[in-house]
A and B are shown apart, each in its own frame.
Chain A
């Protein structure tokens, strides 16, 4: 608690004790009216002097609708009506509300600051064989820094010496450590777990990942959601309207009664008008709505999901259609051996021979076969390599004549082969003139792609669409396997925009469409969709720039998580808005009818605010979604 808050708490306690004692004393004894008034002024002034002072200053500046003025007016009014306890109590609860709000907001600010505590304070550089801590802001790109175990990497760079594993969970939400060695790129914000690393920085501190993420999250609140704009507008009209209603309530009924030559009952109507003033502050909603968004955005970023503004949070919650660009989001985007079929030999032996035969080829297919074999190649085993362009390769490997290539190669060699029903590129292998099976190479589906689609459907996404430049057959098979509703294949980049536009036209106005891409070459589509989501953005500035929502790692499961976070946040925002407005209006009506007194009015003001703020804080907790 800050000093200001402590002081406020002490004032509240003192005033509360005095108020209760006075209440008891006046109940059991007969104190003269003036003495009682004087006694009640003590707790009133203790708890409310600053509000009164601010009200006076506010009047000087023409701020009549200021909360301080309204509170001062309502409480002084109550005291004039000789409702001393209520006058003091309203001021007291008002101050409790203010204190609570300031503590709650301060706490969640701190919570989020802790969650986002990824900005390193220093960098180590070597000077005369000793490590010196310097301000990372002063280092130029290309400097060499040393990161010891347990330290945070301060600046993006490339490892030049040392091996270690990194915990990037502050950036991606993924706690599995990542192994790094010489030439591995590293991002600021990650924690070095085991070995000492020497890193050559590639960026300035301010341009590094950690700084960028922080900047993004801090600025997210500036892009306001519709709900926030609604609240600002509402607050602007609400207070003056309630005050006007109060004036009307204080004057109209008594005057009407006078005209009918009844007793005007001035006290009663003025009292009812004063209860209006107590309910006139829109604080509950005004504080809880931005707090909810701030909490939701903070919680999401801790899970590796960056939402660039409250407005995007709102759109995210309304998504009913998700369009995927296949490569890089549902599939890994790198070619790999996904199967070895009809092999007469051990799969590994087939791969060994094929890998050696292909060892001189720079082709990506050859590379993926070598990667699948995974062991050191022995060049001395390979001779007589003959590359036949558009067909494949023949070579002598370890004493065997090996031919590896497509259907045409097999046909030209006169070797009968099994055609393959699998999707992808097929490399047939023949050994010593005999067919030995084939290797299937395709873009690997990500581990969680199927589950991700299922989760999205669970989360209420009605339509999932996959777009790809691949051929129809390959695309259909994947689409069926992961169970997307619609697939469009053989697309050029421009076609993707057209299809997204068509989908946008078809959908209901209240619904939204998200496009998920890797952010590298789909910027136009990301921009065209209601919401652009970029995946695998860690280390890619372009992706972070292009999208509205950024998933730091490339796990497609995060998409449904993001939707769930947004839904929860929006649900809380809406509940708060309707609850606060509902209770306030109910109390206004009851107050006008004389059923609700000032005690109920102060609940409508402070109680509702406390409840809304507590509810809003729930937005921070997104781990289990």
Chain B
């Protein structure tokens, strides 16, 4: 099969896949239904302050897997749903930022700077339209970069990197994530090492389980999804319980601000926004392709770049559409590019990518990494078809976003008023249910609560969560690559330092850590996107 046959097979895998129901005799594919459902839900959740894409992804993943089963047919519907949520939440995050000055997602923080002043002037509708237009443009651009870059990067990785280089590359990615997420690279490193430590329990190549302290309880290690949901979601829930308890007297009063009648966004206004959007989209895509940095920094950089370019009468920060556009285009263009390291290297860079990897690993039949993009001609490479199927679902979500996203976004403003004390207990119960559905064992609930407490204390100590999670997921790949590299070298103790490429990777890992330790960082801009 040639390249175009693979692309076409991917498109067909989405549209000719299993049917959900049929409408006037035409089958509606389940994957498409899941994308639509995920996208709309994503907008609603994104518009709800205190919730975000990761919540929905985490809670729905185990439930979706048990619903769709473990056949390769389940991959596209489940991943399509996750993609929909990812994109929906990005757009939705701008809604409360603009309407009520409360960002729905951390990366929408910069959106409040110009979005809320516009609302106060009666231009909420225009601000929302601007945010949507910028967001969807940036997102689409980023996806196109992903589609064209990931296969080539994967092929290069596959042909130039041996075992030692792959191990060194994982070390580099982990150091990068540890260095850039959170306030202190040292705390990031601690989190990453701790993740590797916990992932080592009960695994390994020996015929008996290691680090179990002789217990049967730990013999199979910590289940992956349970551990990730524990630190990411349970930790967050416990933290917000504490916050709610502390802030219980602080009542928020929200006034209705009268809005102007003409809130449309004309074509000439859109055209005027394009330079800001394209610069921000490029910035966001570049940032997104690096693991761990996330959309918050992209938004900040996009906003700063836009500010430098801006020469209009209304200044940035006083409520100018350009400010909203620069921020939204930057933070939205992160999501597609974030999948570049996932698909080409198997290395997740942010939380959404973590859930896509978890989905692939739990369902089976798709192992994100360089081997996905093997364009075999003699036989069909099913993973490549899935990869193009995934791209198709992203394009479907983009089309939805262009067509109905804007309208839907303006309807969900009401979600911003849902109080946290109602939401959090629901998330708490849903997470426990989701884990039980997946593991069907009570041990898993204990693990979940244990990891939840761990996540809570990490947040209290300001130790970033993301390096922990990514290290936990990558630990087994790292160990395998290290063992293989060591074996191939014939037991050479300096096996990691025998090739120039791996030396470069390792030196870069040290440089990254040292660089970020020296530079002072803006904590708000660089804090982990989950906490």
On whether the two chains bind one another, the answer is: no
